[in-house]
Amino acid sequence: MVPGGLRHRDVRVGRHVPVSAGAAPRFLERFENVYNRLGRTESILATAAAHHRLAWIHPFLDGNGRVIRLMSHAALLESLNTGALWSVARGLARRVDTYKELLANCDRERRNDLDGRGPLSEEALVEFTRFFLETCLDQIAFMETLVQPERLRNRIVRWAEAQVDAKTLTAKSSNVLEAALYRGELSRGEIAEILHTGVRQAQRIVAELVKAGVLVSDDTRAPLRIAFPATLAAEWMPGLFPEKPTT
């Protein structure tokens, strides 16, 4: 396999037999022409359909599911300007069995003259689209609850205080994180003023927070902003990632 390369042989995925390897480029061109010329509202509704149609083409030998979920995330990022605050992929992972079942149902042939005009079942695609959009709404509601400023602040402060007790951070570190959380960015020169301390002490605290991965900046002189490292997701944003099933 070549990363990013289209498959060079025919495959079978469960009961579904995707288009032949030779036909895949032609189908992808048609896919682009259909889904690249939609208005904002249409593009939102069409994201679910595009999600299945790319899966149906199955352009790669491996990794198709990941690419398709990334495509849907990117499409919603552009059409809804989500800022990547939420992702439909997370919601699909939480209901993976239903997701796979409804996605596979879209491979079915049209049942009768009332089931759309193409070769595939329109009713199945409508059902998957409804599930897909409901999943989006669920993730928006989840993140809205999770990122309530006061609750998020309390979790971050508790974490920082625990690190101070463990002597991995210096006292008043939480003050810097609070300021970065509410202001968005902090210039390095104002840290000492926020902490009511000397410049060297402020620099030391900033260095510790940067090393911990919770403060970032584009360079050594650029403003500082808070980061949300995946390693702290369980403490800062509990429930963000689906729990792994226990064995």
pLDDT digits (tens, 9 = 90+) for 23-57: 999 999 999 999 988 888 899 999 999 999 999 99
Q: Going from the N-terminus, what domains does the chain have, and what CATH number goes with each?
A: 24-146 (no CATH), 149-236 (1.10.10.10)
Q: Which residue do the tokens 């359909």 mark?
A: 49
pLDDT tens digits, residue range 220-235?
A: 889 999 998 889 988 8
- CA atoms 81, 83, 86, 92: torsion sign: positive
Does the pTM surpass 0.85? The reply is: no
Cβ-proximal residues to 33 (8 Å cutoff; 6+ apart), any chain = none
pLDDT tens digits, residue range 154-174?
A: 999 999 999 999 999 999 999
d(CA 119, CA 60): 23
Cβ-proximal residues to 78 (8 Å cutoff; 6+ apart), any chain = 43
Contact 232, 159 (CB under 8 A): yes
